[in-house]
Amino acid sequence: MHAIDQPLSAIRKLLDGGTVTSLDLAEECISRTRANADINAWTCFDADALREEAKQADRRLSAGERLPLLGIPIALKDNIEAAGMTCGAGTGALHGKAPNADAELVARLRAAGALIAGKVGMHELAFGITTNNAVTGAVRNPWDHARIPGGSSGGSGAVVGARFVPAAIGTDTGGSVRVPAALCGVSGFRPTVGRVSGQGIAPISVTRDTAGPLAYTIADCALLDAVLTGAQDGDSKVELKGLRLGVPRDPFWSDLEAESKRVAEAALEGLRQAGVELVDVELPALGELNASVSFPVALYEFVRDMRAYLDARDRGVTLEEVIAAVGSPDVRGAVGTLLTGGGIPEDVYKSALEARKRMQALYAQTFASQRIEALVFPTTPRTAALIGEDETVELNGAQHPTFGTFIRNTDPGSNASLPGVTLPIGLAHGLPVGLALDGPLHSDRRLLAIAEAVQSALPPAPRLETSY
């Protein structure tokens, strides 16, 4: 096992102790990338530039400098700006264009010593769940190259799942960090909206968007969260005995792929044996409220927020040009008429924001009245679909919309701005299954501590078998 296969804390010790060099990590990243080029994970990857960055990190380490991420390669989703690298948001009008400066979160990563390994593929404009992108090509799941890695941060899931890098940053609007993390067999964290700066990130919706980390373990996600936010550890260790977690059976546990359900139920039983009190909870009218919020907020704010981003960051194109150049049919269907009479009326948008407040109140009341610290459920109802199943996907013998199927469990918490995590819990038919936890607003550090305890109590997730 190479050092790049280790969690961030272990890599940190190896680098600081001189057992491994940053250049070793960079060379392994480059080697694995070249050996698995068909995954098509990167949209911007300069091997020589990565080597030079690694050599600089090694000189700093040799001089005694110590930082949380010094010398460790991290990948960025292609909608996050990094100086010297292109930032295309997966779309034709921006493809190949370099920004003028780092996004704020990238500045924080660099300040912590991270190597920015490159930019990774995404669903076009982040409007989808497959990362089957007509502009940059389909990103492939490292567990089965015929399948999707999830989305929209599919490249972020793929490079960590394939172990090209030990961590990546994605963005999540309705599940776009947690879905690819789950489908690629890694851990992922969606922070409370507003916790991580969105400056320098091509948006869909400032009400719903947030950047978040994908990594091998929840502990790694917690470390990256601290770097991105400056947060200090609150609850560093959680005792599972007596911890109360809510199990929202309907709809989160309903109509699951049989093998995925078996794996998820086994994880619940493991938590029960570890002393967790599992409480069945109901969230009445959640589905109706979520439908009232999801698309109206995203589509209304995309027009406003993407236009503001393009202007503020001087990206050199207009919103009209971005929409006109959309290449992926599903994205064109979503945004193609937003400027020509197909947009969301302001009264519908305002009604959606009111429904969002009711969602937040419902979640808060549920957490408080049931005395639960988080909700626990399967991250997705099934494992990764085949590439090309863009419109519908099979679930228990019936065809369902692909997008709606994969975000069914992650979208409600997203619309309420809740923090959420996913962690790998096993395989169904040889493909990864994720278990999700949603916590109350602003409970991020507590939720990460709970998820770390949950991960420690369950059997280690299977590792991708590779020839590395």
* 406, two tokens: 């994969």
| Helices vs strands, H then E, count in the chain | 16, 15
241 tagged catalytic: no
Handedness of CA 388, 433, 143, 456 (dihedral sign): positive
9 tagged catalytic: no
| Rg of the chain, C-alpha, whole Å | 21
Residue 376 has φ and ψ, to the nearest 5°, of -125, 135
* 122, two tokens: 């995404």
Handedness of CA 364, 365, 369, 372 (dihedral sign): negative
Please state, in angstroms and rounded to a whole number, the distance separating the CA atoms of residues 281 and 409: 15
44 - beta bridge partners?
Answer: 119
Residue 95 has φ and ψ, to the nearest 5°, of -60, 130
**Residue in the structure block whose two tokens are 């005792």:** 239
Name the active-site residue from 77, 205, 261, 328: 77
Name the active-site residue from 176, 187, 417, 443: 176
Please state, in angstroms and rounded to a whole number, the distance separating the CA atoms of residues 391 and 393: 7
DSSP state of 125: G
Helix axes 218-229, 8-17, angle to 10 degrees: 70
**Distances 281 to 242, 292, 317, 454 between C-alpha atoms, Å:** 17, 22, 48, 19
Please state, in angstroms and rounded to a whole number, the distance separating the CA atoms of residues 71 and 59: 10
Name the active-site residue from 22, 152, 187, 328: 152
* 420, two tokens: 């959420």
Q: Are 152 and 201 in contact (CB under 8 A)?
A: no
Please state, in angstroms and rounded to a whole number, the distance separating the CA atoms of residues 88 and 99: 9
Residue 447 has φ and ψ, to the nearest 5°, of -60, -45
* 100, two tokens: 């003028």
Q: Which of 161, 138, 137, 141 is nearest to 149 (CA)?
A: 141
422 - beta bridge partners?
Answer: 188, 436
369 tagged catalytic: no
Written as one letter, the residue type at 162 is: A
Please state, in angstroms and rounded to a whole number, the distance separating the CA atoms of residues 164 and 30: 8
Q: What residues are annotated to the active site?
A: 77, 152, 176
